[in-house]
């Protein structure tokens, strides 16, 4: 049967006012599944529906006033006229939920959802693969990409328990649209943004358009277009930003400061020392000197091994900062830069490490079990995961990672232990280790609260 757009528009209009028979509903559903033009018409109708809701509400108010005045004649006529102007799409329905607008190759773990399905507040969606576009009553939309678990919280908010969701909140009603996550909430300020939650419940927000606010335990953080942050689950939880630099010796980043010569751990301050602990046969590359990590600057170019610190070959290694005494840590910034000379070093700006800390004056052993040895877990950094890098050639070649306490400082510690992982791409086992393929750290800055 060929697709009849006029007939489909009628079906959609009747669906939106809740007047479809089961047979018609099935017809609508089939068209949505199989016909892109049907989906376009449906989306347009939903948008109009949202725009009209505001108008309809005004009219409802007028109607109530009219009832008070016992003048019931004019208002229904006005509603009908408006309905005709806008193609008959009016919804005086439940405002507390959403609908499935579209699905694409969706495989559901529990309940199956199809286009047109109503999602009341509280409805849980568990999508294994493929995607589903959710249209909130407010006009906001969220594209859920599997695997993901999501719950409708209201007509203008949802909870992302796991996975990725891309939201657009562009209608007046959707101002303040919120995606809650386990350790943060992203709130629209007229925007399009992406939210991600991983297995550890780390909660990531990146803004693709406009501006969004991120609420972390009552503290607000503002993100403009192109900016991102990740709230790491933990005790205390920390906020991580990883940004791409301008590929110059100035190390300019969107929000993260350039390498500093005045941070607490800088050699110029004479408060801290940095050492390398060997383990698992570790040896540092001959040219590399850990003193480059707190000399107040990054590299002067992207191919200068003597100005960077990196571990040899495929080994993992440990960088230890001794801050001299227990201090209140406010921020830790790590910088890397490397212009790849060949495939083996594609590319060594990747940052992957676990940060541990210790408060006492006797440093615990550095072994494979930091937690058992008494080290306190702070967070785990993986810049490929942060940037969602699928191909190592897309890695930013100059990176800064900034770790701050989500609510106040990170804690009071004397020792910091960076448990650095191999920078080799996890999905490219065929690329073997070469000397110099490891992350080229240019500087590590450690900031403390002075009071």
List residues binding Ca ion (CB under 5 A).
Answer: 260, 263, 266, 296, 445
Q: How far is the CB of 318 from Ca ion (least distance, A)?
A: 19
Q: Quick one: 173 or 445, whose CB is closer to Ca ion?
A: 445
* Joined tokens for residue 87: 């193609």
The minimum distance between CB 425 and Ca ion, in angstroms, equals: 29
Q: Cβ closer to Ca ion: 12 or 439?
A: 439
Shortest reach from residue 264's CB to Ca ion, in Å: 9
Nearer to Ca ion, 188 or 243 (CB): 243
Q: Residue 167 or residue 334: which is nearer to Ca ion going by CB?
A: 334
| Chain residue whose CB lies nearest Ca ion | 266
CB of 289 to Ca ion, least distance (A): 15
* Least CB distance to Ca ion at residue 442 (A): 10
Least CB distance from residue 164 to Ca ion, whole Å?
35
Nearer to Ca ion, 152 or 272 (CB): 272
Give the shortest CB-269-to-Ca ion separation in angstroms: 8
The CB-of-297 to Ca ion minimum distance in angstroms stands at: 8
Residue 315 or 445 with smaller CB distance to Ca ion:
445
**Would you say 291 or 372 has its CB closer to Ca ion?**
291
Residue 161 or 261: which CB sits closer to Ca ion? Answer: 261
């Amino acid at each position: 049967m060929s697709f009849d757009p006029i007939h489909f528009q009628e079906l959609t209009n009747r669906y939106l006012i809740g007047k479809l028979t089961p047979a018609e509903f099935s017809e609508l559903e089939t068209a949505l599944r199989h016909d892109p033009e049907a989906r376009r018409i449906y989306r347009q109708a939903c948008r109009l529906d949202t725009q009209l809701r505001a108008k309809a509400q005004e009219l409802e108010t007028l109607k109530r006033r009219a009832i008070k005045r016992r003048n019931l004649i004019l208002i229904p006529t006005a509603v009908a006229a408006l309905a005709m102007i806008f193609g008959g799409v009016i919804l005086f329905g439940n405002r507390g939920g959403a609908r499935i607008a579209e699905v694409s190759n969706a495989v559901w773990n529990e309940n199956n959802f199809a286009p047109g399905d109503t999602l009341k507040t509280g409805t849980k969606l568990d999508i294994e693969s493929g995607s589903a576009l959710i249209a909130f009553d407010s006009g906001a939309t969220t594209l859920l990409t599997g695997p993901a678990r999501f719950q409708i919280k209201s007509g203008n908010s949802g909870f992302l328990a796991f996975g990725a969701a891309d939201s657009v909140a562009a209608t007046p009603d959707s101002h303040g649209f919120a995606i809650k996550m386990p350790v943060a909430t992203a709130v629209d300020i007229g925007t399009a943004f992406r939210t991600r939650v991983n297995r550890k419940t780390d909660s990531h927000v990146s803004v693709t358009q406009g501006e969004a606010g991120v609420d972390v335990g009552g503290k607000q953080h503002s993100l403009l277009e192109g900016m991102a942050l990740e709230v790491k689950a933990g005790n205390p939880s920390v906020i991580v930003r990883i940004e791409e630099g301008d590929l110059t010796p100035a190390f300019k980043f969107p929000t993260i400061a350039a390498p500093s010569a005045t941070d607490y751990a800088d050699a110029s301050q004479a408060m801290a020392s940095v050492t390398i602990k060997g383990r698992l046969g570790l040896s540092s590359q001959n040219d590399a000197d850990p003193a480059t990590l707190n000399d107040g600057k990054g590299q002067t170019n992207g191919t200068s091994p003597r100005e960077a610190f990196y571990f040899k070959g495929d080994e993992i290694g440990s960088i230890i900062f001794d801050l001299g005494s227990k201090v209140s840590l406010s921020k830790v910034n790590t910088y890397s830069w490397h212009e790849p000379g060949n495939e083996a070093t594609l590319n060594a700006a990747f940052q992957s490490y676990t940060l541990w800390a210790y408060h006492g004056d006797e440093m615990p052993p550095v072994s494979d079990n930091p937690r058992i040895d008494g080290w306190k877990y702070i967070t785990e950094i993986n810049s490929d995961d942060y940037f969602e890098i699928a191909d190592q050639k897309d890695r930013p070649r100059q990176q800064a990672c900034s770790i701050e306490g989500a609510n106040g400082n990170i804690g009071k510690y004397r020792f910091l232990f960076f448990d650095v992982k191999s920078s080799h791409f996890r999905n490219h086992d065929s690329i073997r280790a070469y000397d110099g393929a490891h992350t080229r750290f240019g500087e590590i800055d450690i900031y403390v609260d002075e009071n």
